[in-house]
Structure 1
């Protein structure tokens, strides 16, 4: 556990992690309630100061474990960008290295160390500023969501939102939830199976309450470039009030 930094001189370096998952059919982000100043009691991204003997990515995984009890090693993790505005932290000159983390249907987090509590919040409520965040964490969440939405177009990142095995409908629902679009099932299935190394059929099927059993797939490995890309402009957007209901198919 890193020691609290109440005062420091020069430049300090922190990490902040934007953890995205799909829960209750919504894209949600992990937030913690700060237990220390500044912004004591406010919601913020999990993160903290990098120890003298560690690099940024191990620090991000450690902070996730300390503040939320989530296993950072089990998440997809990539560096988002560095934030270094001179007055982003009232304690002094603090540069933060932000990370984007993604995993399927993560459990309810548990607060720890300098976080009083941890919770999931729908991304739409954060982006709509219905939920106030400490520091410049709103801007970091905005950048992370933009990154995730963009990478769904040209990489296989969507599979990181899925469990180890999944149906085509579950994969399609990731795109619908993250992008806020309605996607034709047949068109989506054709695009996925025609893409190189996107998904791998397991040869098994899942019995559903209604309809034919659904074919199961798995990701072929690490996130990779998607060819041809899955362009979101090809799908019509839906209004927030509209419901996009998934319908399982036997394909």
Structure 2
């Protein structure tokens, strides 16, 4: 088949009718980021990880790919992205944000349709989201024993099918730009957090250390977070303050578009 359905044995397979015109197939893919410590050092600083699925049929059989699948004729784009993600990884993020459309002419050169020798052009609409530790745990339990689903550090990715390396690189660029001006880091944290925990998220996303004093000044002047009036309990020395994000700001800027309920 084509780029979609990296793990077609999972439940929730694509609808029988795909959004296809002659020579054109529309697909959806998802890039999901989570913060996880390195496997070899559970106490180390966290880094960015993402789930991949192994393709079990040509083209690129045996290679890893982003979760995805063909768009059904009766599906919204976001609903299709949520369906394929849930079927392969059991992840169901609170939001999915459209990242970009990828459609270079040679991105799926081996894809063929029913006509012998004819080549499909595959256009993928890619969505992305961030998930927290609890969601990662749920996904890992779902895929336990399934060698075709695994989490990888963004710093140590395997060879990927199609142009999925380009997609991930673009998603990382978007995330690193967005974390400095939006409340997107909230997805990695609980409802309340310390400034040190928030700084740790920013450092993991940006891939560099941040000066604690400068970070505090920048964050407190941004009005992105507000103090809760509470402090961390159970510490023996000067417990740090707890903060929460300003709820007036949505993690996904949809402009005038209405927010759709989760499928």
Q: TM-score by structure 1 length?
A: 0.78
Q: Deviation of residue 158 (structure 1)? A: 2.0
Alignment of 1:60-209 (within 5 A): 60-72=81-93, 74=94, 76-89=95-108, 90-91=110-111, 92-105=120-133, 106-107=136-137, 108-109=139-140, 110-111=142-143, 117-126=148-157, 131-196=158-223, 198-207=224-233
Which structure 2 residue ranges, 5 or more long, are not aligned? 1-11, 38-45, 112-119, 254-263
Structure 1: 4+ residue segments shifted above 6 A:
none
The count of corresponding residues between Structure 1 and Structure 2 is: 215
1:149-197 deviations in whole A, cap 9, x for unaligned? Answer: 011122222222222221111110111111122112122112111112x
Question: 2:68 maps to what in 1?
Answer: 47
1:77-108 deviations in whole A, cap 9, x for unaligned? Answer: 21111011122112121100011211222224
Cα RMSD (Å) of the superposition?
2.4
Which structure 1 residue ranges, 5 or more long, are not aligned? 226-251
Tell whether 2:28 aligns with 1:15: yes
Instruction: Give the SS at the match of 1:149.
Output: helix
Q: Deviation of residue 212 (structure 1)? A: 2.4
Instruction: Give the SS at the match of 2:96.
Output: strand
User: Structure 1: how far apart are the matches of 2:182 and 2:130?
Assistant: 14
User: Structure 2: how far apart are the matches of 1:57 and 1:206?
Assistant: 38
Q: Is the 8 A contact 2:97 2:252 kept in 1?
A: no
Q: Is the 8 A contact 1:18 1:141 kept in 2?
A: yes
User: Structure 2: how far apart are the matches of 1:41 and 1:9?
Assistant: 28
Q: Deviation of residue 8 (structure 1)? A: 8.1
Q: Deviation of residue 66 (structure 1)? A: 0.6
Q: TM-score by structure 2 length?
A: 0.74
Q: Is the 8 A contact 1:35 1:116 kept in 2?
A: no
